[in-house]
């Protein structure tokens, strides 16, 4: 759940949006990735992932990231072609996977599908991977399990951006946790960074010339700052120590343990810096699937009841409704369905057209 979904806070009221059908976006991403050397088989999961991110309203992680993935392949810092993730060792319920530096979504899909297969027979599958790359929204993997009636989880480490409680240097990543579970015609989808906010939210406030709440970021002395321009690192979920930020720091370390530490990939400050490509990423990631049928019968009924209880709560004064994790994304998908595709800001369309022109590819068709 990211309540900040949409165009990252930019007021869109006066902008005429273009709408792109989902299959059209998918085809475009596949074309682009193939143009820089991806096989069709590797380009497709990446395309599905980016489509899903934009469809769910997480524009920062969708089409917006296409050039990053293309650059990874073009520069040779990530690979595609005749190479696939492999299982290094396994039990009926666990596996260690080496991604062999293939595109992140290819590694992630391999791992969550392996976890799902193990959950079908052993009740649970827990897969940790090294040698991976950026895998996009963590929710894509957990949802893949929940759509098959299982509980899904996904974790990844990322470039250092978070400053531990009482420290002043970035040491851990935004290290997201995603958990998805099925209900009756419904679902629970938690997809959250273990930092208070994503870096993008601080950057947007800076662009707007507005302050940030104390609890989002620290300056170079390690002190919480209201000034986005002075921010040198993100605070963990919870903010300062006074408001229990050490819990978010602990959760970030937990994610790192499941990812880089468990798999033997890069970890903590050893992960390459954000937006640099000086060395391979060697990200660590973790994927879990659990079969609710291995536990008490009626899981989906109880999950539905809990979801309905939460949505049915009387709103706080000044609020319109109580949501559950996944509802903001659900609203965005309904909007897309109504429009017949994903609405984009003209700048995003221009960005995509520029890529198409550069690689002499057919551009994305727009509905309007």
Residues 298-327 that bind a second copy (CB under 8 A): 298-299, 302-303, 306, 309-310, 313-319, 321-325
331 forms part of the interface with a second copy (CB under 8 A): no
Please pick, from the candidates 5, 6, 87, 247, the single residue that binds a second copy as defined by CB under 8 A: 247
Closest alpha carbon to 263 in 173, 135, 142, 156: 156
Are 235 and 215 in contact, with CB atoms under 8 Å apart?
Answer: yes
Residue whose CB is less far from a second copy, 4 or 84: 4
Length of the chain: 368
Token pair in block for residue 64: 């917006």
Please choose, out of 6-14, 78-86, 109-117, 177-185, the segment that lies near a second copy by the rule CB under 8 A: 177-185
Please pick, from the candidates 71, 207, 242, 350, the single residue that binds a second copy as defined by CB under 8 A: 242
Nearest distance, CB of residue 140 and a second copy, angstroms: 17
243 forms part of the interface with a second copy (CB under 8 A): yes
Residue whose CB is less far from a second copy, 29 or 170: 170
Please choose, out of 39-47, 48-56, 271-279, 295-303, the segment that lies near a second copy by the rule CB under 8 A: 295-303
Euclidean distance between CA atoms 256 and 264, whole angstroms: 11
Please choose, out of 17-25, 73-81, 192-200, 347-355, the segment that lies near a second copy by the rule CB under 8 A: 192-200
Please choose, out of 16-24, 71-79, 249-257, 338-346, the segment that lies near a second copy by the rule CB under 8 A: 249-257
* Number of residues lying near a second copy (CB under 8 A): 92
Euclidean distance between CA atoms 127 and 110, whole angstroms: 10
Please choose, out of 11-19, 35-43, 233-241, 331-339, the segment that lies near a second copy by the rule CB under 8 A: 233-241
Please pick, from the candidates 15, 19, 22, 254, the single residue that binds a second copy as defined by CB under 8 A: 254
Radius of gyration of the chain (CA): 20
Are 196 and 237 in contact, with CB atoms under 8 Å apart?
Answer: yes
217 forms part of the interface with a second copy (CB under 8 A): no
Torsion of CA 66, 69, 71, 72, to 10 degrees: 180
Residue whose CB is less far from a second copy, 74 or 301: 301
Token pair in block for residue 362: 């057919």
Applying the rule CB under 8 A, the residues between 47 and 86 that interact with a second copy are none
Euclidean distance between CA atoms 35 and 73, whole angstroms: 10
Nearest distance, CB of residue 124 and a second copy, angstroms: 5
* Residue with the two structure tokens 């662009």: 207
Euclidean distance between CA atoms 134 and 113, whole angstroms: 18
Please pick, from the candidates 13, 82, 185, 221, the single residue that binds a second copy as defined by CB under 8 A: 221
Euclidean distance between CA atoms 254 and 246, whole angstroms: 12
- Residue 41: count of CB within 10 angstroms of its CB: 10
Residue whose CB is less far from a second copy, 247 or 335: 247
Residue whose CB is less far from a second copy, 22 or 96: 96
200 forms part of the interface with a second copy (CB under 8 A): no
Please pick, from the candidates 22, 77, 83, 88, the single residue that binds a second copy as defined by CB under 8 A: 88
Nearest distance, CB of residue 189 and a second copy, angstroms: 9
Please pick, from the candidates 6, 37, 222, 363, the single residue that binds a second copy as defined by CB under 8 A: 222
Euclidean distance between CA atoms 121 and 108, whole angstroms: 20
Q: DSSP string covering 37-94, please? A: T--HHHHHHHHHHHHHHHHTT-GGGTGGGHHHHHHHHHTTSSB-SS---EEEEE-SSE
- Residue 33: count of CB within 10 angstroms of its CB: 24
115 forms part of the interface with a second copy (CB under 8 A): no
Please pick, from the candidates 25, 29, 50, 190, the single residue that binds a second copy as defined by CB under 8 A: 190
Applying the rule CB under 8 A, the residues between 261 and 280 that interact with a second copy are 261-264, 267-269
Are 275 and 261 in contact, with CB atoms under 8 Å apart?
Answer: no
φ, ψ of residue 143 to 5 degrees: the values are -65, -35
Residue whose CB is less far from a second copy, 123 or 200: 123
């Amino acid at each position: 759940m990211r309540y900040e979904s949409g165009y990252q806070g930019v007021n869109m009221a006066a902008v005429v949006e273009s709408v792109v059908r989902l299959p059209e976006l998918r085809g475009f991403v596949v074309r682009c990735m193939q143009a820089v050397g991806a096989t069709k088989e590797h380009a497709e999961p990446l395309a599905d992932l980016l489509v899903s991110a934009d469809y769910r309203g997480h524009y920062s992680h969708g089409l917006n990231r296409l050039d990053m993935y293309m650059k990874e392949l073009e520069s040779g810092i990530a690979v595609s072609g005749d190479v696939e993730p492999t299982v290094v060792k396994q039990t009926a319920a666990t596996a260690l996977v080496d991604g062999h530096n293939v595109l992140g979504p290819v590694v992630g899909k391999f791992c969550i599908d392996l976890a799902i297969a193990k959950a079908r027979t052993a009740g649970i599958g827990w897969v940790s991977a090294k040698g991976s790359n950026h895998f996009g929204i963590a929710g894509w993997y957990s949802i893949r399990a929940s759509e098959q009636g299982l509980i899904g989880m996904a974790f990844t480490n990322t470039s250092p951006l978070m400053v531990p409680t009482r420290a002043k240097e970035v040491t851990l990543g935004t290290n997201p946790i995603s958990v998805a579970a099925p209900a009756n015609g419904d679902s629970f989808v938690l997809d959250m960074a273990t930092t208070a906010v994503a870096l993008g939210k601080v950057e947007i406030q800076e662009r707007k010339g507005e302050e940030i709440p104390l609890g989002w970021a620290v300056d170079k002395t390690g002190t919480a700052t209201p000034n986005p321009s002075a921010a040198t690192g993100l605070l963990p979920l919870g903010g300062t120590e006074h408001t229990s930020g050490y819990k978010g720091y602990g959760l970030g370390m937990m994610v790192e343990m499941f990812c880089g530490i468990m798999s033997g990939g890069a970890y903590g400050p050893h992960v390459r810096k954000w937006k640099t490509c000086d060395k391979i990423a060697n990200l660590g990631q973790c994927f879990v699937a659990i079969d609710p049928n291995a536990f008490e019968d009626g899981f989906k009924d109880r999950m539905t009841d809990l979801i309905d209880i939460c949505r049915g709560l009387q709103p706080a004064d000044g609020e319109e409704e109580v949501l559950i994790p996944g509802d903001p994304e659900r609203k965005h998908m309904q909007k897309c369905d109504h429009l017949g595709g994903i609405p984009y800001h003209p700048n995003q369309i221009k960005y995509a057209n520029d890529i198409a022109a550069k690689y002499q590819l057919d551009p994305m068709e727009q509905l309007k």
